[in-house]
């Protein structure tokens, strides 16, 4: 079976649910350059990935090779996805592939995609139709096969068609196309636009009139892939349509360093504000279970006056173990809860458990001092739930100054991840980023230890360093890294605010 699948215009989230579902299950993926590499992250690890990227001028033979590849793999009984940019039926040579499959007796399914013209129009705020001045929409190709007279688009004729023209592959012959349209009687003042790399973080556009289009495009260095639009409808909303590129973090690239599976909330918020996210999980969290110790702590859970949590990871892991042991929230008992920051406290609020203490500045030291200041520690039983780092200071203050009886329960271990195994590493080294966001001291230490593997190639954008809190900043500064932006506490919302303030200036 072969699935001829439209990948959409660029932004991965504009691909269809069907496309995602098929990618997640395919045995073989045959893709070319317009399909966003991000989509390839959806295929199973065992999937064979074949790049059949076309470059102009080398089409004919390669097209036959592509067809052969599809037939070969499908004949072996494999589920093959042929991924094409945009929609497979819009200037995608899909008909030829269908024919080849038919001849070989192989079944296929066609999955439409959001075609570039529609996506570019939407993301540039250029309406393609309008009740007063645009009642037809034409898709044209500017890339003529000069050897075939019949395939040439006569642009001068389209000057009279009216409505909105959407020209694919028009950049290399832009001046010629404009000339033909004017020759055919189109007004030089008619609204015209070019959207290059539509829907992507590096989308660029010019919106002007037909006579000025070529010059404006050169001034902005617009390049393929791009769609050229001409028609009265696209001029109807003007600057108001600039929703995509005017988002506060548009065009900025940020590196998130949290472990896999923990970046989604921050990533979602930053992406919604226009940022592009690279994921470099610099640490990994491994559960560390000392079964005997866990059994002892849980046996005495009713005897603790306070439970103290220094990280969201610890809190989550503790609750997982708690439910494994008891299965019922009522066994949590009367112990009071103190957390280092909001993110950690969130874990307990989900269970409607009240968090009674969060220090203003999120450090273990402040947490300890604030606890001592409650005057409730003298001879109290305190349980500290932690990872394998940064717990000594807490224990010391609570015991020596607060006179508490302290038990510690390590529930996870933080380990550096090997950056050379991270999929986004290559993009980071080539393109760089505007900022790296360090979530914890351990992400900072991992970065410092592996700085060589993370070094940027020439011309890549050099990032500034941002820290989620004073403790992380301290680690960065001790290692001679300049902290440009810092949160007072590890809060996702504060980090987003700090970034917007800095980057939207």
The residues binding ligand SAH (CB under 6 A) are: 9-10, 34, 84-87, 90-92, 115-116, 120, 168-169, 195-200, 224-227
Query: CA 258, CA 284: separation in Å to the nearest integer?
Result: 8
For residue 388, the 8-state DSSP code is S
Q: Which is nearer to ligand SAH, 10 or 490 (CB)?
A: 10
> CB of residue 115 vs ligand SAH: minimum separation in angstroms?
3
The active-site residue, picked from 54, 267, 284, 369, is 54
Query: CA 246, CA 244: separation in Å to the nearest integer?
Result: 6
Give me the residue label for tokens 């940020």: 254
Give me the residue whose beta carbon is nearest to ligand SAH. Answer: 86
Give me the residue label for tokens 């307990």: 348
Query: CA 71, CA 69: separation in Å to the nearest integer?
Result: 6
Q: Which is nearer to ligand SAH, 67 or 486 (CB)?
A: 67
Residue (of 154, 191, 197, 193) closest to 176 by Cα position:
154
Give the CA count within 13 Å in the CB-facing half-sphere of 430.
Answer: 6
- The contacts of residue 68 (CB under 8 Å, 6+ apart) are 100
Q: In this structure, what token pair is assigned to residue 293?
A: 């110790």
In this structure, what are the phi and psi dihedrals at residue 55, rounded to the nearest 5 degrees?
Answer: -120, 150
Note whether 249 and 274 are within 8 A (CB): yes
> CB of residue 14 vs ligand SAH: minimum separation in angstroms?
10
Q: Which is nearer to ligand SAH, 204 or 336 (CB)?
A: 204
> CB of residue 90 vs ligand SAH: minimum separation in angstroms?
4
Residue (of 113, 106, 99, 151) closest to 22 by Cα position:
113
Q: Which is nearer to ligand SAH, 227 or 338 (CB)?
A: 227
> CB of residue 2 vs ligand SAH: minimum separation in angstroms?
17
Q: Which is nearer to ligand SAH, 113 or 469 (CB)?
A: 113
Q: Which is nearer to ligand SAH, 10 or 134 (CB)?
A: 10
> CB of residue 186 vs ligand SAH: minimum separation in angstroms?
20
- Residue 184, classed as helix, strand or coil, is coil
In this structure, what are the phi and psi dihedrals at residue 218, rounded to the nearest 5 degrees?
Answer: -65, -40
For residue 458, the 8-state DSSP code is T
Note whether 497 and 270 are within 8 A (CB): no
Say whether 434 is catalytic: no
Q: In this structure, what token pair is assigned to residue 375?
A: 């005057």
> CB of residue 145 vs ligand SAH: minimum separation in angstroms?
13
Note whether 390 and 371 are within 8 A (CB): no
Q: Which is nearer to ligand SAH, 22 or 90 (CB)?
A: 90
> CB of residue 296 vs ligand SAH: minimum separation in angstroms?
59
Say whether 453 is catalytic: no
Give Cα 444 to chain centroid, integer Å.
21
The active-site residue, picked from 27, 87, 98, 169, is 169
Give the CA count within 13 Å in the CB-facing half-sphere of 478.
Answer: 10
Say whether 169 is catalytic: yes
Catalytic residue numbers?
32, 54, 169
């Amino acid at each position: 079976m072969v699935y001829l699948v439209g990948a959409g215009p660029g932004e991965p989230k504009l691909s269809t649910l069907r496309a995602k579902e098929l990618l997640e299950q395919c045995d073989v993926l045959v893709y070319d350059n317009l399909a966003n590499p991000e989509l390839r992250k959806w295929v199973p690890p065992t999937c064979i990935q074949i790049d059949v990227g076309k470059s102009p001028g080398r089409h004919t033979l390669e097209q036959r090779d592509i067809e052969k590849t599809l037939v070969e793999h499908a004949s072996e009984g494999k589920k093959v996805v042929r991924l094409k940019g945009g929609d497979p039926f819009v200037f995608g040579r899909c008909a030829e592939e269908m024919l080849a499959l038919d001849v070989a007796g192989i079944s296929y399914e066609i999955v439409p995609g959001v075609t570039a013209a529609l996506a570019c129009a939407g993301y540039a705020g250029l309406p393609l139709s309008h009740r007063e001045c645009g009642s037809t929409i034409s898709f044209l190709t500017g890339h003529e096969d000069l050897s075939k007279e019949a395939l040439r688009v006569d642009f001068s004729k389209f000057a009279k068609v009216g409505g909105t023209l959407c020209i694919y592959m028009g950049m290399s012959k832009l001046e010629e196309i404009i000339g033909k349209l004017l020759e055919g009687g189109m007004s030089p003042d008619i609204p015209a636009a070019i959207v290059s790399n539509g829907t992507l973080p590096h989308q660029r556009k010019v919106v002007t009139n037909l006579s000025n289009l070529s010059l404006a495009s050169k001034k902005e260095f617009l390049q393929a892939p791009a769609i050229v639009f001409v028609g009265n409808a696209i001029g109807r909303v003007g600057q108001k349509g600039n929703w995509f590129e005017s988002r506060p973090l548009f065009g900025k690239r940020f590196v998130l360093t949290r472990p896999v599976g923990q970046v989604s909330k921050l990533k979602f918020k930053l992406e919604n504000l226009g940022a592009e996210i690279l994921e470099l999980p610099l640490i990994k969290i491994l559960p560390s279970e000392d079964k005997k110790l866990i059994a002892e702590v849980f046996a005495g859970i009713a005897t603790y006056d306070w439970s103290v949590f220094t990280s969201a990871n610890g809190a989550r892991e503790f609750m997982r173990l708690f439910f494994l042991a008891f299965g019922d929230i009522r066994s949590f008992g009367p112990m009071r809860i103190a957390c280092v920051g909001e993110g950690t406290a969130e874990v307990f609020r989900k269970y409607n458990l009240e968090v009674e203490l969060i220090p203003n500045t999120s450090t273990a030291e402040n947490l300890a001092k604030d606890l001592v200041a409650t005057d409730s520690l003298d001879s109290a039983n305190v349980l500290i739930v932690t990872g394998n780092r940064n717990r000594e200071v807490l224990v010391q203050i609570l015991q020596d100054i607060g006179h508490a009886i302290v038990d510690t329960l390590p529930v996870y271990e933080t380990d550096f991840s090997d950056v050379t195994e991270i999929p986004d590493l290559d993009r980071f080294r080539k393109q760089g980023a505007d900022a790296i966001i360090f979530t914890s001291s351990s992400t900072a230490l991992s970065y410092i230890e592996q700085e060589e593997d993370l070094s940027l190639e020439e011309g890549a954008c050099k990032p500034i360093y941002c820290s989620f809190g004073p403790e992380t900043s301290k680690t960065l500064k001790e290692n001679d890294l300049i902290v440009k932006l810092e949160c007072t506490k590890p809060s996702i919302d504060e980090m987003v605010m700090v970034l917007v303030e800095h980057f939207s200036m």
